[in-house]
Amino acid sequence: MKKPSGYALIRRHLRRYPRTLRQTLIRELNQLVTYEPVIGIMGKTGVGKSSLCNALFRSEVCGMNTVEACTRQPQRVRLRFGNHYLTLVDLPGVGESQQRDSEYRDLYRQLIPELDMVIWVLKADDRAFSIEEQFCHDVFQQFSGPLPPVIWVLNQVDKIEPAEQWRWPSAQPSPLQAEHIALKQQAVARQLGLAENVVLPVSVRGRYRLPALVEHIITHLPKQARSPLVPHLHSGYRTSSIISTARSSFGEGVVEVIDRVIDLAPLPQLARSALKAVTHTVASVAGSVWSFFFK
């Protein structure tokens, strides 16, 4: 006997709701399931944005900023896996000229409201980050509206000296390299005015700390964006911890959707209270069929 689909199970538990309310709830829940995360990828040309995205996501991301280093427009890369979409917005690399940087500041400010997250990629063997410091101040710290979470990634740490000591078989830096990586984290965080643990050291080529980066991304994304991102991740990153976080966030999102729809419905207070009393039952069912939606 064929098992009922996730939507069928949810509809079964929504039968006690008025018909018009059921239709609205199904529509709202469908929007939650099909939500398309939008992530801005920032950083100078050559910091390894494409290789980082390819290391994280199942769909191949073509070279970012390879059309022309001075491109003035953001490149939108829309990834699809199954019924789920993810949009990566590659913003033009900063530091080309004062005039261009001024244009890019305005561009970044315009795009920020549509982003669920910003991943700013830094190159570990760069000596100075004064341009990033200025942009951080002018764009993020002076932005008047709500900011999306910003993940600062210190990429290519395998190049930190003594680079020849990188332990490729174990994907780990040597003790001396690890010490220098920690010092670089501190220096970058200090220059950008960030907490030290906000700057995440990774190496795509060295296969270093990518799972930790994915964990950080999932836990800092808005709740509605977490589950839709999971199908795009390489299988090695879809750990029980990642799935648990996404599943619980989905359940919380379902509760919020149902409560919002009930609050807006023209219902007597008694009926509204009775419907809210079974909200968590519906959310529990939605959580139980999470894999149906986000496998």
**pLDDT over 80 at 46, yes or no:** yes
Least confident of 19-33, 81-95, 255-269: 81-95
Q: How confident is the model at residue 222 (pLDDT cuts 50, 70, 90)?
A: very high
Confidence of residue 160 (pLDDT cuts 50, 70, 90): very high
Residue 93 has pLDDT above 70, yes or no: no
- Scanning the structure block, which residue is given the tokens 């995205």? 53
The vertex-84 CA angle with 83 and 90, nearest 5°, equals: 140
Q: Is the pLDDT of residue 130 over 90?
A: no
* Domains defined for the chain, CATH in brackets: 6-33+242-294 (no CATH), 38-220 (3.40.50.300)
pLDDT beyond 90 at 132:
no
pLDDT at residue 277, rounded to an integer: 85
Q: What is the pLDDT of residue 104?
A: 75
Residues 6+ apart with CB under 8 A from 10: 26, 29, 282, 285, 286, 289
pLDDT of 67 reads 46
Question: Nearest CA to 202 among 172, 174, 226?
Answer: 172
Q: What is the structure's pLDDT at 77?
A: 92
Q: Are 17 and 94 in contact (CB under 8 A)?
A: no
Residue 235 has pLDDT above 60, yes or no: yes
Confidence of residue 203 (pLDDT cuts 50, 70, 90): very high
DSSP 8-state symbol, 167: B
Between 195 and 211, the higher pLDDT residue: 211
Q: How far is CA 239 from CA 7, 84, 210, 230, 236, in A?
A: 25, 19, 13, 10, 7
Q: How many CA atoms lie within 13 A of 50 on its CB side?
A: 14
Range scoring the smallest mean pLDDT among 37-51, 107-121, 135-149, 230-244? 135-149
How far is C-alpha 137 from the geometric centre of its chain's CA atoms? 22
Kindly report the CA angle at 54 between 51 and 59, in degrees rounded to 5? 155
pLDDT for 140 equals 78
Pick the most confident of 89-98, 204-213, 258-267, 273-282.
Answer: 204-213
- pLDDT at position 157 over 80: yes
- Would you give the end-to-end CA distance of the chain in angstroms? 21
Beta-carbon contacts of residue 246 (< 8 Å; ≥ 6 apart): 218, 226, 227, 229, 230, 290, 294
Question: CA–CA separation, 108 vs 145, rounded Å?
Answer: 13
Distance (Å, whole) CA 143 – CA 210 = 30
Lowest mean pLDDT among 123-137, 148-162, 205-219: 123-137
Residue with tokens 């390879």: 66
Indicate whether 69 pLDDT > 50: no
Dist. CA 232–CA 180, nearest whole Å: 33
Structure tokens at 282: 């519906």
pLDDT at 101 over 90: no
The dihedral sign for the CA sequence 202, 203, 209, 210: positive
Mean pLDDT of 214-239: 97
